[in-house]
Homo-oligomer: A and B are copies of this chain.
């Protein structure tokens, strides 16, 4: 029986997560859900972001279903680092999974690109690189100030995420994997990534491979996103590339993500890429599609492949059936998807 921690969070997070939970309940009736009140409201009330006791409780779940975190009342960075990134690091969620698909019923801002033509998944490294927080500031607020950020990369960390990406590519139709880095400038980390990529490639002779610099990949993401199948890249490049991928597939309305510990030693977190959107919160008009697609990633991760596929197909059908301009009600969308299952 799956034990799922629900961190609905702030703003529209609570609204869309309710639909995601509803949909999981429809396909996994005996799943157990436990709510955790974290995010801006909790922080403003308690002054704490993630108490150790709550983190210990979260650790005893199979997965975390997260809505959205953040509110203008909280200084930027506090919740991101204290909650989202902390979970990624403490729960060793080293595979940050971000599929991007141009779904029927949605429109790309790119002229002439049709639904079905873009279908990729970016496997972003989740716990290394520039996200480790290494570095410092000296002579702050004087003309002599310097600030450093250090990107830390290990063979261990790079190899496991690259192997995960190869395995995913191997399971897909096109079996193509693109590695993205900036090896011509970041020669140390880039060298490690390139050598590791070449070594792991030997284990997957059926997967065709390609390397691109991050600047070129960012350009191709706009000029020819159809070319990508699976992409593997480091933490920061993945952060950027997945937002471009979301943009070319019609924005973050359908962008789901998972911060995954593949070994399931720790719970993985599944959340829509969009934020808490305080401007439309409380009105019941947020699109729960990305949250429900994140639930589908959660089901997949827990081994419920058939259920995962049914959920993403139901989302696709719901989105394809929408009539332009018709008002969207969050709960009704969730009901329709759940009913279709």
List the interface of chain A (C-beta within 8 A of B).
Answer: 76-77, 80-81, 85, 108-112, 130-131, 133, 135-137, 139, 141-156, 182-189, 191-192, 195, 214-216, 218-223, 236, 239-240, 242-244, 246-248, 251-252
Contacts of A109 in B (CB 8 A): 110-111, 222-223
Q: Which of B154, B187, B251 contacts A77 (CB 8 A)?
A: B187
A239 to B181: give the CA distance in the assembly, Å. Answer: 12
Q: Which of B111, B150, B184 contacts A76 (CB 8 A)?
A: B184
Q: Please tell me if the beta carbons of B153 and A148 are within 8 angstroms of each other in the complex.
A: yes
Copies in the complex: 2
Closest B residue to A157 by beta carbon equals B146
Known: A185-B81, A189-B135, A243-B215. A151 touches B154 (CB 8 A): no
Contacts of A143 in B (CB 8 A): 155-156
Q: Please tell me if the beta carbons of A244 and B243 are within 8 angstroms of each other in the complex.
A: no
Q: Please tell me if the beta carbons of B215 and A185 are within 8 angstroms of each other in the complex.
A: no
A218 to B112: give the CA distance in the assembly, Å. Answer: 21
Q: Can you sample 21 A-B contacts with CB below 8 Å? A: A109-B110, A110-B110, A135-B186, A136-B188, A137-B191, A142-B155, A143-B155, A143-B156, A144-B155, A146-B152, A148-B152, A149-B150, A150-B150, A150-B151, A214-B239, A215-B242, A218-B218, A218-B240, A219-B243, A219-B251, A240-B240
Q: Please tell me if the beta carbons of B218 and A188 are within 8 angstroms of each other in the complex.
A: no
A240 to B131: give the CA distance in the assembly, Å. Answer: 18
Q: Please tell me if the beta carbons of B137 and A151 are within 8 angstroms of each other in the complex.
A: no
Q: Which of B148, B188, B216 contacts A137 (CB 8 A)?
A: B188
Q: Please tell me if the beta carbons of A148 and B148 are within 8 angstroms of each other in the complex.
A: no
Contacts of A222 in B (CB 8 A): 109, 222, 244, 247-248
Known: A191-B137, A218-B243, A218-B244. A183 touches B77 (CB 8 A): yes
Contacts of A239 in B (CB 8 A): 182, 185, 214-215
Return A115 CB to nearest CB of chain B, in Å.
14
Contacts of A191 in B (CB 8 A): 137, 147
Q: Please tell me if the beta carbons of A146 and B155 are within 8 angstroms of each other in the complex.
A: yes
Closest B residue to A77 by beta carbon equals B184
Contacts of A141 in B (CB 8 A): 195
Q: Please tell me if the beta carbons of A145 and B192 are within 8 angstroms of each other in the complex.
A: yes
Contacts of A183 in B (CB 8 A): 76-77
What 10 pairs between A and B have smallest CB-CB spacing? A222-B247, A145-B155, A147-B192, A111-B111, A77-B184, A215-B243, A149-B151, A219-B247, A147-B188, A219-B243
Contacts of A243 in B (CB 8 A): 215-216, 218-219
Contacts of A182 in B (CB 8 A): 236, 239
Closest B residue to A144 by beta carbon equals B155
Known: A219-B243, A244-B244, A246-B219. A81 touches B148 (CB 8 A): no
Return A131 CB to nearest CB of chain B, in Å.
6
Contacts of A76 in B (CB 8 A): 183-184
Contacts of A244 in B (CB 8 A): 218-219, 221-222, 244
Return A200 CB to nearest CB of chain B, in Å.
13
